[in-house]
Amino acid sequence: MKKFIPLIISLCVLTTFEAQAADDWCWEKIDYPPSMFGKWSSRLRNSSNFVEKTFKRNADTLPQRPAEMMEGLAYLEVLLNEVCWDRHGNRQAQKKLGKVVLDIRTSLGLSPDMPRTKIINIYWSTAKLLSLATVEKLEVDEARQEGIKKLKQLKATLKAELKEYQDDL
C-alpha cells in the first residue's frame, strides 16, 4: 500500500491540473462585426478602454447612451476573450471576468452557452438599432440621484453576496 501512495498523490495532482486546464481554456475564435476594430488596432487595448470609459468613467450617464451601452457589452465579451488568450495567464481574472459576463447574459435573457461570436453580433446589431433612438436628457435632483445610486449599490451588494454563497455551495 505504502509504495502506491506517491503514485496516487501524483495522479490526484495531475488529474486536478489537467481537468482545470481543459475547463479553463475560455478563448474562442471570433468573427468580429466589420466596424468593431480597425485593421491595426489592438483588440485588448481598445476593448479594455471602451469598457473602462463606458462602465466606469461614464457610468452615471449610461441611460443617456443606450447604443454605447450595448457596444460596451460587446467590448466586454471581447475583453474577456483577450484575457482568455493567455492559457497560463491569471486564471482568477479570467474566472471573475467570465462570471460578470455570464451574469449579464443571464440577466438579459441570453444563454450562457451561446458562442461569443453570436453574442457579440447580437449586442452590436442591437446597438445599431438603438442608435436610431431619440434620447432626451432629463433633469433629476442631484441629491435624489445620489440616494438612488446608493440603493442600487445596496441591491448589488446583496445579490453579489448571495451569488458568492451559491458558488461556494
Partner 1 sequence: MIYKKHKSLAIIALLVFLQTGHGKAASVDLRDFNEQINEIKEDYDFSTDSPEFQLLTVLEAVGSNLTKNPAPEVVVQTLSVIDSTALIEAAFPSTAKVSFADDFLVGSNLSVSDLANASFFLNSLNAKRLSLTTEAQSLTLNSTAGLGSIQEQVFNFSNTNPAALINELKNAGQIDLVQLSAAIESEANGLSSSIQQASETIQQQDLGSAAEQVASATQTISFATGAALAAAGASLDQAAQTISDAIAGGVSMDLEAASQGLGFDSFSEAVDAYNEQYGTSYTVDSAREALGQ
Residue list 19-78, contact with partner 1 (CB under 8 A): 41-42, 44-46, 48-53, 55-56, 59, 61-64, 66, 69-70, 72-73, 76
Find, among 100, 77, 99, the residue nearest to 27 by Cα. 77
Sequence-separated (6 or more) residues with CB below 8 Å from residue 56: none
CB of 16 to partner 1, least distance (A): 5
Cβ burial of 73 (10 Å; 0-12, 13-18, 19+) is buried
In the structure grid, which three cell numbers stand for residue 42, read together? 489592438
# of chain residues touching partner 1 (CB under 8 A): 87
Find the binder of partner 1 among 2, 29, 39, 88 (CB under 8 A): 2
> All 3 cell numbers of residue 40?
491595426
Decide: 69 and 54 in contact? Cβ < 8 Å: yes
Which positions from 81 to 100 touch partner 1 by CB under 8 A, shown as an x/- string?
--x-----xx-xx--xx-xx
Half-sphere exposure of 15 (CA within 13 A, CB side): 5
- Per-residue cell: 119: 453574442
Residue 135-154 contact track with partner 1, rule CB under 8 A, x = bound = xxxx-xx--xx-xx-xxxxx
Interface residue with partner 1 among 28, 87, 108, 112 (CB under 8 A) is 108
Please name which of 69, 73, 71 lies closest in space to residue 35, comparing C-alpha atoms. Answer: 71
125 binds partner 1 (CB under 8 A): yes
- List 27, 32, 104, 117, residue binding partner 1 (CB under 8 A): 104
Name which position in 25, 31, 87, 128 contacts partner 1 (CB under 8 A).
128
Nearer to partner 1, 15 or 28 (CB): 15
User: CB of 116: closest distance to partner 1 in angstroms?
Assistant: 14
